[in-house]
Amino acid sequence: MEPEILFTRHERDGVAWAELMLNRPLKGNALTLPMLDAIEGHVKNVAADPAVRALVIRGAGKYFCTGGDITAWGALSPGAMAQQWIHRGIDVIDRIAALPQPVVAVISGHALGGGLELALAADFRLGVRHAQLGAPEVCLGMIAGWGGVRRLAENIGLPRARELTLIGAPITAQRAHEWGLLTAVADDAAALEVEVDSLLGKLLANAPRAMHATKLLLATLALDLRHQHASAVEQVAGTADCAEGVAAFKAKRKPVFHNR
Q: What integer pLDDT is reported at residue 188 of this predicted model?
A: 96
Q: How far apart are CA 211 and CA 15, in angstroms?
A: 15
Q: What integer pLDDT is reported at residue 193 of this predicted model?
A: 97
**CB proximity list for 130: less than 8 A, separation 6 or greater:** 109, 173
Please identify every residue annotated as catalytic: 117, 137
Buried b (16+ CB within 10 A) or exposed e, 111-129: bbbbbbbbbbbbbbbbbbe
Q: What integer pLDDT is reported at residue 258 of this predicted model?
A: 73
pLDDT at 252 over 70: yes
Q: What is the pLDDT of residues 106-160, one digit of tens each?
A: 999 999 999 999 999 999 999 999 999 999 999 988 888 888 999 999 999 999 9
Q: How far apart are CA 209 and CA 201, in angstroms?
A: 17
Neighbouring CB atoms inside 10 A of 254's CB total 7
pLDDT at 178 over 80: yes
Q: What integer pLDDT is reported at residue 66 of this predicted model?
A: 95
Q: How far apart are CA 35 and CA 118, in angstroms?
A: 12
Angle among Cα 205, 210, 214 to the nearest 5 degrees reads 120
Q: What is the pLDDT of residues 67-86, one digit of tens each?
A: 988 887 777 788 888 888 88
Q: What is the pLDDT of residues 188-246, one digit of tens each?
A: 999 999 999 999 999 999 989 888 988 888 887 765 555 666 677 777 778 887 888 88
Angle between helices 226-237 and 87-97 (to 10 degrees): 150
pLDDT at 170 over 90: yes
- Least Cα distance to 131 among 151, 149, 106, 155 occurs for 106
- Structural domains of the chain, with CATH: 5-205 (3.90.226.10)
Q: How far apart are CA 5 and CA 106, in angstroms?
A: 15
Do residues 177 and 185 make contact, with C-beta atoms less than 8 angstroms apart?
Answer: yes
Alpha-carbon radius of gyration of the chain:
18
Q: What integer pLDDT is reported at residue 80 of this predicted model?
A: 81
**CB proximity list for 75: less than 8 A, separation 6 or greater:** none
